[in-house]
Amino acid sequence: MDLNPIFFTAFASLAIAFALLVVLKKNPVASAFSLVLVFFCFAAMYAMLDAHLLAALQVLVYAGAIMVLFIFVIMLLAADVPSFDLGRSHVGLRIGSGAVSLVLLGLFVWAFRHTESFGAKGTLTAAKIESVGGNTQAISQLMFSDYLLPFELTSVLLLAGIVGAVAIAKRQNPRKEGSGS
């Protein structure tokens, strides 16, 4: 894979480090900011892998929209929470989790190492993509032909999400609504 090893190593290390911080930092704000950095690293990776559109979207959607939403909620709630810096769970669980994840990682890496053959090569080589006008062009063209269905469904999904979010977060009317327990 014609990925620059130096850049890869650098961004990978950074990403792993920040990802660890996301998990390990007690303060969710710190976690959130670490996460943003992870997102940036990923964007860089995408760019290096010739997925330029995705690199841009990564920054815009993830680092921009989603993270802002997170930070916003954190800020919204943090004001009310006495101790927002919730630590981690019981030691046993932590050790167990670490072990589980490590073992899983080992298994996956083993699988990757032992995978000699990948799926059949497609037709969209770099040259082909270049011929239709680059990565962004190719993706947008595909979106309206081959991927029409998922694209349309995404809109359904977003609509459902909106309705859901509204239903959840709608201002409550205590007079009208009963409380269970």
Q: Interface residues for another protein in 103-162 (CB under 8 A)? A: 103-105, 107-126, 128-129, 131-133, 135, 137-139, 141-151, 153-154, 156-162
- Shortest reach from residue 27's CB to another protein, in Å: 9
Q: What does the alpha-carbon distance between residue 3 and residue 159 come to, in Å, rounded to a whole number?
A: 39
| Secondary structure (3-state) at 171 | coil
Instruction: Output the six-digit token pair for 79.
Output: 């004001």
Query: Does residue 14 bind another protein (CB under 8 A)?
Result: no
Asked if residues 41 and 15 have their Cβ atoms less than 8 Å apart, the reply is yes
Q: What is the largest CA-CA distance in the chain?
A: 65
Asked if residues 42 and 15 have their Cβ atoms less than 8 Å apart, the reply is yes
Query: Does residue 70 bind another protein (CB under 8 A)?
Result: yes
Query: Does residue 163 bind another protein (CB under 8 A)?
Result: yes
Q: How many CB atoms lie within 10 A of CB 35?
A: 23
Looking at 10, 14, 56, 62, which residue binds another protein (CB under 8 A)? Answer: 62
- 15-54: which residues touch another protein (CB under 8 A)? 15-16, 19-20, 22-23, 28, 31-32, 35, 38-39, 42, 45-46, 49-51, 53-54
Query: Does residue 79 bind another protein (CB under 8 A)?
Result: no
